Amino acid sequence: MLFYDVLLQSIHLVVTWGTLLVSWMAIFVKPWKLSQKTRPLNLSSIYSDSKLLQKLPIHIGFLFLEDDLSCTDIATLIVWCMSLGISYISLYDRKGILKRNAFLETEIVRKQKELLGKDATRFNIFLHRHFFNREKLVVERNINQIDVQLLSEEDGRQSLVHTARQFSRAVAVKQYKISDISPSTIDTFLLDKSSFPDPDLVLRFGAVDSLLGFLPWQVRLTEILSLPTHRNIDYKSFLRLLQAFGDIKQRFGKKD
Amino acid sequence: MSANLTIKTFRKEMSWVRKTEQSWVHRLCQQVLKCGPVPKHVAFIMDGNRRFAVKNSLERAEGHIMGFEKLAKALEWCSNLGIMEVTVYAFSIENFKRSKDEVDGLMELARQKFAKLLQEKENLDKHGVCIRVLGNLNLLPHDVQVAVANAVNLTKHNARAVLNVCFAYTSRDEICSAMRDVAHGVEQGIIRESDISEHLLEQCLYTRKSPNPDMLVRTSGEFRLSDFLLWQTTYSCLSFVQVLWPDFSIWHLYAGVIKYQRNYKAIQEAIKDNLIERERLQKESDYECAMEELRQKQTNHFKDTDIKSCVEDYTKKREQRIKMFLDDLERRRNTFFDDLATDQQVTNAAAT
């Protein structure tokens, strides 16, 4: 019987990790629709790639579910998004390491100069580290404004707890009736605090098939795609996922 | 033609609970899977019934019937694997926007299924199956509400296996109802604003009697949550499967479990960290509230022992408040179902 147990365990091991390898191979072997030529990346080449996509996300979320975070690669992702025309970006890591990272901003500036050259100065990037006490900008938003929010676990369920407390207080002081609490008023409240629309697309990095606490309220209709790692992320893989996103049609529960 | 014959055969067998013989292949696979942790609670988004109907040139209603068949099979597969709780997304509040014919058809299917449930009491009790219906039931036609209440009351004492059917449900609506409940509690003075925590909100959700799903499976190749259990699945293993729901097979389920096992360590670590954080926040909050109370008593000197006992005292009182609040909530929900069930009895009595 011991042999039988060992046999079962071995089969189990092979199946568990074999299936993962197969799924990763599938990601890298998929046919590449857009240009095969390795041409230099700059603002105009990336911008022309964006024109070939069916649809671009307005707000993209990057979930870093891996242990080691690479500022350089994260900065690269941000610069690509900027150049493609995505103006709301969320960076999430469960423990809030990015929020406390002092080098991210300088790395972003460096990558902008490296990839975009003289076009680097065209964009204004705003980094938001806090969910609730965000500085609201008085100026009107222009197309070259990029908002990046750094998020962690506390901005998920805990922010809904904070919201519940605010609404309870408003009801207790007769500012609100209980019937005024609705999904849309809650949504308005959260939107007012963050100024970010709900993410249309979320890219998970790391071999974890879960959202691990990322903005549960806001991911109601978010497309969830994934890549094995963000380290040494290559442009083609990223663009391929955006292309897959562009091909998706949402039915909103109503009709086919 | 053959599809219609298959459906007629199925109609006879369309019960909620069944036990069929397993092949040795399946038994072997189950033994391999049980070498690792098996999820206790799986949630399903059973997407693709209508597209299945179109693909096989059936009526849409037939697609839904096939979907129900697949659900019954999936429940059996889960039970054999040791997955004793299943939650399914049967009808979203968004689905009310579909054509009147389709919505009426789905309500009729629900009426039939819940009515059949009442006939299967013996079978359900034998297998210890508890059925719960979660959602904003006030949005449903009254007679469907009554059928639901009867089904829930009929099986509520069973505890071996649980099936949660989300009907007239969206996650945001559920979270909103939890926020209303706590706001009501604060307004009535049963709990304080500072008592509101992740744990308390969770206890106000429709799913409060269940642990969070270990795994979420969505069929038909869509990669989103569509307003289903957003709070509860934030640490769940997500399995997006390409096939349409009526084509879902036991192999897809096995593959999902393998995926769950691969992710087990990373996810458990995240869940543990979250629980530690919850505890830390609660302790911090209890301390601050206790200190505030001490200050208000205008005591200038307090010894360490005074502070410690004060905080312990405050914690105990808070827990009592919360217990009272949750017991009251439970009472109101039970009353809702009992009243509906009595409606049926009154109608029956009037008819005789």
Suggest the residue from B25, B28, B172, B234 to mutate for an interface test with chain A (most A CBs closer than 10 A): B234
Decide: A58 and A245 in contact? Cβ < 8 Å: no
Beta carbons of A216 and B170 less than 8 Å apart = no
Give me the torsion for CA of B332, B334, B336, B340, rounded to 10°: -160
Lowest mean pLDDT of A194-208, B39-53, B70-84, B97-111, name the range: B97-111
Output the pLDDT for position A171: 96
Asked if residue A253 has pLDDT above 90, the reply is no
| pLDDT given for residue A51 in this prediction | 87
For B168, phi and psi rounded to 5 degrees?
A: 60, 50
* pLDDT on residue A26: 66
Beta bridge partners of residue B161, listed in sequence order: B129
Is residue A189 less than 8 Å (CB to CB) from chain B?
no
Interface of B with A in 210-249 (CB under 8 A): 222-227, 230-231, 233-240
Contact B326, B203 (CB under 8 A): yes
By the 8 A CB rule, do A156 and A214 touch? Answer: yes
pLDDT for residue B161: 93
| Structure confidence at residue A11 as a pLDDT band (50, 70, 90) | confident
Paired tokens of A166: 């605010």
Question: Between chains, do A178 and B51 touch, taking CB under 8 Å as contact?
Answer: no
pLDDT at A28: 62
Our CA-based measurement puts residue B347 at a distance from the nearest CA of chain A, in whole angstroms, of: 32
Q: Which residue has the tokens 């059925």?
A: B131
Identify the CA nearest to B206 among candidates B172, B236, B250, B238. B172
Residues of A within 8 A of B99 (CB-CB) are: 255
Q: What is the DSSP string of B171-240?
A: HHHHHHHHHHHHHHHHHTTSS-GGG--HHHHHHHSTTTTSPPPSEEEE-TT--S-TTSSTTTTTTSEEEE
- DSSP calls for B234-281: TTSEEEE-SS-GGG--HHHHHHHHHHHHHHHHHHHHHHHHHHHHHHHH
Is residue A136 within 8 A of residue A193, CB to CB? The reply is: no
Give the residue among A79, A83, A75 at the shortest CA–CA distance from A50: A83
Instruction: Tell if the CB–CB gap between B198 and A161 is shorter than 8 Å.
Output: yes
pLDDT digits 0-9 by tens, A224-235: 999 999 999 999
Is A186 within 8 Å of B172 (Cβ atoms)?
Answer: yes
DSSP-based three-state secondary structure for B113? helix
Residues from chain B that touch A180, judged by Cβ atoms under 8 A, are none
Regarding pTM above 0.80, the answer is: yes
Segment (H or E) for A63: strand A59-64
Contacts of A165 in chain B (CB under 8 A): 193-194, 196
Nearest to B80 by CA among B125, B17, B14: B17
Q: Distance between terminal CA atoms of chain A?
A: 53
For residue B92, give the amino acid letter.
S
Query: How high is the pLDDT of residue A256?
Result: 39
Task: Answer whether B225 sits within 8 Å of A222, measured CB to CB.
Answer: yes
Share of chain B above pLDDT 70, in %: 90
Using CA atoms, how far apart are residues A84 and A127, in angstroms rounded to an integer?
19
Instruction: Output the pLDDT for position A33.
Output: 47
Model confidence at A39, pLDDT cuts 50, 70, 90, reads: low
B36 to chain A: closest CA residue: A12
Cβ B172–A157 below 8 Å, yes or no?
no
**Mean pLDDT in residue range B39-60:** 92
Residues of A whose CB is below 8 A from B256: none
What residues form DSSP beta bridges with A61?
A90, A202
- Between CA B235 and CA A209 the distance in angstroms is 9
Top residue of B96, B179, B236, B238 to mutate, by most chain A CBs within 10 Å, is B179
Predicted pLDDT at B4: 43
* Residues 102-141 of chain A whose Cβ lies under 8 A from any Cβ of chain B: none
Query: What is the tens place of the pLDDT at every residue in B296-321?
Result: 876 666 666 688 888 999 999 999 99
Q: Which of A27, A210, A221, A245 to mutate to test the interface with B (most CBs of B within 10 A)?
A: A210
Q: Could you give the CA distance from residue A181 to residue B173 in angstroms, rounded to a whole number?
A: 10
Closest CA to B314 of B276, B282, B277: B282
Structure token pair of residue A148: 């990046």
Structure tokens at B305: 């022992």
ipTM of predicted complex: 0.89
pLDDT for A255 equals 45
Q: How far apart are CA B72 and CA B88, in angstroms?
A: 11
Q: Which of residues 74-113 of B touch A (CB under 8 A)?
A: 92, 94-95, 97-99
Q: What percent of chain A has pLDDT over 90?
A: 58
Helix, strand, coil % over all residues of chain A, rounded to 5: 45, 15, 40
H or E element that contains B103: helix B100-119
Residues B289-311: b if buried by 16+ CB within 10 A, e if exposed: bbeeebeeeeeeeeeeeeeeebb
Structure tokens at A178: 């209980």
- Using an 8 Å CB-CB cutoff, list chain B residues near A17: 262
pLDDT of residue A13: 86
- Judged by CB atoms closer than 8 Å, whether chains meet at A15 and B263 is answered as no
Nearest to B53 by CA among B240, B246, B221: B246
Phi-psi group of B128: left, alpha or beta (phi > 0 → left; psi -120 to 50 → alpha; rest → beta): left
The mean pLDDT of B135-163, rounded to a whole number, is 92
CA–CA min distance A44, chain B (Å): 31
Chain B: residue whose CA lies nearest to A12? B32
A14 touches chain B (CB under 8 A): no
Confidence label for B6 from pLDDT (cuts 50, 70 and 90): very low
Chain B contact present for A6, CB below 8 A: no
Instruction: Please determine, for residue A173, whether its predicted confidence score (pLDDT) is greater than 60.
Output: yes
Inter-chain residue contact A16 with B193, CB threshold 8 Å: no
Mean pLDDT (whole number) for B200-219:
96
Interface contact B180-A209, CB threshold 8 A: no
B residues 152-181 closer than 8 Å to A (CB): 170-173, 175-176, 178-180
Q: Look at residue B302 in the predicted model and tell me its pLDDT.
A: 64
- pLDDT per residue as tens digits for the range B154-202: 899 999 999 999 999 999 999 999 999 999 999 999 999 999 999 999 9
Residue-level pLDDT at B120:
85
- Report the residue from A183, A210, A224 with minimal CB separation from B267: A210
Band (B1; pLDDT cuts 50, 70, 90): very low
